[in-house]
Amino acid sequence: SRKWTRLEGEETQTYEFELTPSEKQQVEDIIDAVADGRIDDIREADVYEGANRYRARFLRAKLFDDDGNLGGVPTDAPDDE
């Protein structure tokens, strides 16, 4: 619970990266699927469902750098206590 308290107390930062409208929708679909506990429903390549593994892998390859940073921008993590 201390970790959640720390997370809620973090200051916001602005990060910028570019997405096409369909990429934005797919990111939203993936987040919704995870948040709703539907990850088992995410299939490899369902063209009718925005949250599919092939598309997620494509977005990761396109948007993340070799260190796993979205948009190539490191996330400043708070010091671990």
Q: What is the pLDDT of residue 44?
A: 73
Is residue 20 classed exposed, middle or buried when 0-12, 13-18 and 19+ CB atoms within 10 A define those classes?
Answer: exposed
Give the confidence band of 14 by pLDDT, cuts at 50, 70, 90. confident
Give the tokens for residue 13: 């930062």
User: Which residues sit opposite 70 in a β-bridge?
Assistant: 64
Q: What is the pLDDT of residues 23-81, one digit of tens each?
A: 888 888 888 888 998 887 777 766 666 667 888 888 889 989 999 888 888 887 555 44
End-to-end CA distance of the chain, in Å?
13
Q: How do the domains of the chain map onto residue ranges?
A: 19-69
